[in-house]
C-alpha cells in the first residue's frame, strides 16, 4: 500500500482505481469486502465526514452531495464508482448514474440496495425476507421497490433501527445495550419466520455474529459489501476494466472532515491498516457540482 | 445472559452447559462460533490465564493442566468438553479423552485439530492444503497426522508463524507490521498453490479478512470454531444431549489469572458482551488432578 498522489492525467483505464464514497466510515465495511474480492485492484475511498450523517438530508441535497463526491473521485481517475451509503443510494442513485453516463467517460455507478436485493431473493427459500436498516432507509421504500422488481411474490419485513448505527459508531457494539437493541430488532423478524435478512446499513456487519446468534443459525444474512463485490467484479469484467496488475493493489483515503478521527474510527470498520488520509476541503468539493 | 453460580448437584443432562477451555483468550473465537451455531445451549468458558501461554510447556505438563481444567469444568456440570487450544489438543487430547471416558459420567472431549483437518480435506479440490500455526503446533505434527489419517493423498504445507499470535493478542493486528508478517507467512502458501488453508491458532480468525485478501478470494479458509461447532452439534445430537431449552442460552467465564485483563482483551476475541468473570484460584485447580 503505497500512497499515490497522481491526480491529473490519464493512464490505462484498467489501471485506474475504483472510487468508493460514503457519508462517513460505514462504507469501509463495503470497502473491506471489495479488498478481499478484488485484491489486485486499486481503490480510493472518500468519506464526506464534514456533512455526516446523510440520514437527515433532503433528496435534493443528497443528489447534490453525491454528484460532488462523484466528481472528486473522477478527478482521482476512478474507473467505476461505488455508492457505499444507503441514504445516498436510495435518494440519488438514478440521477447520479444518468449524470455519469452523460459524461464523456461514461463511468458506471453501483449502489448498495440492488445487489443486496438480488442476493436476498436468490437466497430465500420461503419467500420471506427481513430488512434491518435506519428509519430513513426503511421509509424510502428503496429495498421494497428493488425486491418487487426482481420477484413480486417475495414479502419484505422491514424493521427500522433508530439507534443501532450510532451505538456501533460509538464503539459500544459489545455492550449489553447493543444486545438488547439487536434482540428487540430481531424479535419481529423471528416472529415473521424470515429465512434471509438484509443488513441495510453499512454499520451492521460489525455485529454480524450477534445478529446471527439472535436470528438463529439457519437464517442467511446478506450484507452490502459481499453483494456489491460480485456486481463490481461483473461490471469490470464486462467492460474490460479488470486490472492487469498482478500484485497486491493499493488503497487510499480522502475525507472532508477531521482526518485523525476518521482514521481512528475507520480502522475498526476497515479491519485493515489504514495508512495516510488526505483532507479534501468542503469549499473545494462544493464547487464541483 | 444471567450469571449462574450453581456448582454442585445434578440437573437434567440436556440442560447442563458445554465446557470450553483454553490457556487464555484465543479460545473465545471458538466460543463465539459455538454461540452462533448453538444459540440455545449454555456455555462455561475457563481460561487458564495464570499459566498462559501453553506453547512453551512440556507434553506432561499439558496433560496435567488439561486434566485440571477438565475437572473444574466437570464441577460446573459440563455435559461435553471442548479443548479450544491447539497446544493442549496436540499434546493431551488422547490422554484427556481416556480419563473422561473412564469417569462414571463418560463425558466426551472434542479438540480443535481433527475437526479442521476433516473440513479442510472435504474442502480441497487440488489436494494441497496450507497450515498457519505457532511453531509449537507445527512442530507437533498433529495436523499432518490428522490429515494423513483422513486422506493419505493430501499434501500439507505448514508455515510456522512465531510472532503472529502475540501481535494479535497485543491488539496490533491492523498495524502495517501485521500485514507484513501475514504477507510473508502467506507467500510460501501462494507459491505452493494451496486451495485451502487451516488457521491452526485460535487467534487467527481475528485477521481473517487480511488473510483472505493476501491468499486470494478463491482460497477456502478453515478455522477451528466453525469446524468444531459442527462436531459439537453432532456429538450432542447422537448422545441425546441437545438442550430442550427454547430461548437464548447463557454463557459465563472463569479464569485463573487477572479478571479485568481477561475481560478487556477477551471482549475483542468474543465479539459479544462479556458479563461477569469469576476468578478460580490456581491452588484450587492444582489440587484437582
Angle A5-A10-A16 from CA coordinates, rounded to 5°: 65
Residues whose CB falls within 8 Å of the CB of residue A45, separated by 6 or more in sequence, listed in order: A19, A20, A21, A22, A27, A28, A31, A251, A252, A253, A254
Residues in A touching B175 (Cβ below 8 Å): 273
Torsion of CA A38, A39, A45, A49, to 10 degrees: 100
Q: Which residue has the cell 469444568?
A: B73
**Is the bond leading into A272 cis (omega within 30 degrees of zero)?**
no
Q: What pTM, to 2 d.p., does this model score?
A: 0.89
Active-site entry in A161, A186, A201, A255: A201
DSSP 8-class letter at B274? -
Is B39's CB within 8 Å of A178's CB? no
Is A213's CB within 8 Å of B272's CB? yes
CA separation for the pair A83, B216 (Å, rounded): 24
Out of A35, A174, A248, the one facing B273 most closely (by C-beta) is: A174
Does residue A70 carry a pLDDT above 70? yes
Residues whose CB falls within 8 Å of the CB of residue A108, separated by 6 or more in sequence, listed in order: A80, A81, A97, A100, A101, A235, A239
Task: Find the residue in B nearest to A31 (Cα).
Answer: B209
pLDDT in tens, A113-170: 999 999 999 999 999 999 999 998 899 899 999 999 999 999 999 999 999 999 999 9
Is B273's CB within 8 Å of A209's CB? no
Per-residue pLDDT, averaged over B38-51, amounts to 96
Chosen CATH of A114-223 out of 3.50.50.60, 3.30.70.1340, 3.60.15.10, 3.40.50.1860: 3.40.50.1860
B272: contact with A, CB 8 A cutoff: yes
Q: Does domain B114-224 have CATH number 3.40.50.720?
A: no
Coil, strand, or helix at residue A269?
Answer: helix
Does residue A267 carry a pLDDT above 80? yes
Q: Residue B111, CB half-sphere, CA atoms under 13 Å: how many?
A: 23
A271: contact with B, CB 8 A cutoff: yes
pLDDT of residue A280: 96
Residues whose CB falls within 8 Å of the CB of residue B119, separated by 6 or more in sequence, listed in order: B222, B226, B227, B230
Residues in B touching A237 (Cβ below 8 Å): none
Does residue B6 carry a pLDDT above 50? no
Is B271's CB within 8 Å of A39's CB? no
Query: What does the mean pLDDT of chain B come to?
Result: 91
**Grid coordinates of A282:** 468542503
B259 Cα to chain A: minimum distance (Å): 18
Is B273's CB within 8 Å of A214's CB? no
Is A210's CB within 8 Å of B272's CB? yes
Catalytic residue check, A85: yes
pLDDT of residue A276: 84
| Domain ranges across chain A | 16-111+227-286, 114-223
Angle A85-A90-A96 from CA coordinates, rounded to 5°: 85
B216: contact with A, CB 8 A cutoff: yes
- Measured between alpha carbons, how far is residue B51 from residues A154, A180, B18, B22, B282 in Å? 55, 35, 22, 10, 9
- DSSP for B35-67, written as a single string: HHH-TTS-EEEEE-GGG--GGGS-HHHHHHHHH
CATH number for the domain whose boundaries are A16-111+227-286: 3.40.50.1860
Task: Find the residue in A nearest to B276 (Cα).
Answer: A176
CA separation for the pair B180, A105 (Å, rounded): 37
pLDDT of residue B3: 37
Per-residue pLDDT, averaged over A230-245, amounts to 93
**Grid coordinates of B190:** 501462494
pLDDT of residue A7: 43
pLDDT of residue B4: 42
Common-topology check for domains A16-111+227-286 and A114-223: yes
Coil, strand, or helix at residue B180?
Answer: helix
Coil, strand, or helix at residue B130?
Answer: strand
A176: contact with B, CB 8 A cutoff: yes
**Grid coordinates of B127:** 489436494
CB pairs under 8 A between A and B: 69
pLDDT above 70 covers what percent of chain A? 96
Q: How confident is the model at residue B243 (pLDDT cuts 50, 70, 90)?
A: very high
pLDDT in tens, B61-112: 999 999 999 999 999 999 999 999 988 998 899 999 998 888 756 899 999 9
Fold held by B13-111+227-286: Rossmann fold (3.40.50)
Does residue A11 carry a pLDDT above 80? no
pLDDT of residue A23: 93
Torsion of CA B83, B84, B90, B94, to 10 degrees: 10
CB atoms near residue B141 (< 10 Å) = 13
Residues in B touching A1 (Cβ below 8 Å): 179
A230: contact with B, CB 8 A cutoff: no
B209: contact with A, CB 8 A cutoff: yes
Does residue A285 carry a pLDDT above 60? yes
Out of B1, B213, B271, the one facing A209 most closely (by C-beta) is: B271
Minimum mean pLDDT range among A223-227, B9-13, B99-103, B247-251: B9-13
Rg value, chain B, Cα: 18
pLDDT in tens, A86-107: 889 988 999 999 988 887 568 9
pLDDT of residue B121: 97
Q: Where are the beta strands (DSSP E) in B69-154?
A: 80-83, 108-111, 128-133
Nearest to A23 by CA among A112, A103, A141: A112
Under 8 Å between Cβ of A117 and A143: yes
pLDDT of residue B11: 63
Residue count of chain B, please give it.
289
Task: Find the residue in A nearest to B38 (Cα).
Answer: A217
pLDDT of residue A54: 87
Nearest to B219 by CA among B129, B95, B151: B129
Active-site entry in B85, B161, B186, B255: B85
Under 8 Å between Cβ of A288 and A72: yes
CA separation for the pair B215, A46 (Å, rounded): 27
Does residue B201 carry a pLDDT above 50? yes
DSSP 8-class letter at A249? P
CA separation for the pair A205, A210 (Å, rounded): 10
B247: contact with A, CB 8 A cutoff: no
**Phi and psi based region of residue A146 (left: phi greater than 0; alpha: psi -120 to 50; beta: remaining):** alpha
pLDDT in tens, A167-209: 999 999 888 899 999 999 999 999 999 999 999 999 999 999 9
Backbone dihedral angles phi then psi of residue A172, each to the nearest 5 degrees: -105, 30
CB atoms near residue A193 (< 10 Å) = 11
pLDDT in tens, B110-150: 999 999 999 999 999 999 999 999 998 899 899 999 999 99
Under 8 Å between Cβ of A208 and A222: no
Nearest to B289 by CA among B6, B3, B21, B11: B21
Nearest to B230 by CA among B85, B94, B33, B80: B33
pLDDT above 90 covers what percent of chain B? 79
Residues in B touching A32 (Cβ below 8 Å): 209
Amino acid at each position: 500500500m503505497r500512497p499515490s498522489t497522481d491526480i491529473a492525467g490519464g493512464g490505462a483505464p484498467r489501471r485506474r482505481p475504483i472510487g468508493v464514497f460514503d457519508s462517513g466510515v460505514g462504507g469501509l465495511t463495503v470497502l473491506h469486502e471489495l479488498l478481499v474480492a478484488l485484491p489486485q485492484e486499486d481503490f480510493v475511498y472518500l468519506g464526506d465526514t464534514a456533512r455526516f450523517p446523510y440520514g437527515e438530508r433532503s433528496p435534493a441535497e443528497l443528489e447534490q452531495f453525491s454528484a460532488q463526491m462523484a466528481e472528486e473521485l473522477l478527478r482521482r481517475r476512478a474507473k467505476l464508482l461505488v455508492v457505499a451509503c444507503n441514504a445516498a443510494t436510495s435518494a440519488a442513485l438514478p440521477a447520479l448514474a444518468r449524470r455519469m453516463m452523460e459524461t464523456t467517460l461514461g463511468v458506471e455507478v453501483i449502489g448498495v440496495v440492488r445487489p443486496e436485493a438480488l442476493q436476498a431473493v436468490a437466497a430465500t427459500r420461503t419467500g420471506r425476507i427481513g430488512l434491518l436498516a435506519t428509519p430513513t432507509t426503511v421509509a424510502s421504500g428503496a429495498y421494497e421497490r428493488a425486491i418487487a422488481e426482481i420477484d413480486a411474490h417475495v414479502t419484505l419485513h422491514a424493521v427500522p433501527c433508530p439507534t443501532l448505527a450510532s451505538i456501533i459508531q460509538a464503539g459500544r457494539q459489545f455492550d449489553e445495550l447493543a444486545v438488547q437493541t439487536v434482540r428487540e430488532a430481531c424479535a419481529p423478524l423471528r416472529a415473521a419466520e424470515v429465512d434471509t435478512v438484509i443488513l441495510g446499513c453499512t454499520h451492521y456487519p460489525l455485529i454480524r455474529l450477534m445478529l446471527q446468534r439472535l436470528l438463529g443459525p439457519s437464517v442467511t444474512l446478506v450484507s452490502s459489501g459481499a453483494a456489491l463485490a460480485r456486481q463490481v467484479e461483473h461490471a469490470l469484467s464486462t467492460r474490460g476494466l479488470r486490472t492487469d496488475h498482478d500484485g497486491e493493489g493499493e488503497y487510499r483515503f480522502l475525507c472532508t472532515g477531521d482526518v485523525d478521527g476518521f482514521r481512528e474510527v475507520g480502522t475498526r470498520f476497515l479491519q485493515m491498516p489504514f495508512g495516510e488520509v488526505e483532507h479534501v476541503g468542503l469549499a473545494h468539493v462544493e464547487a464541483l457540482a
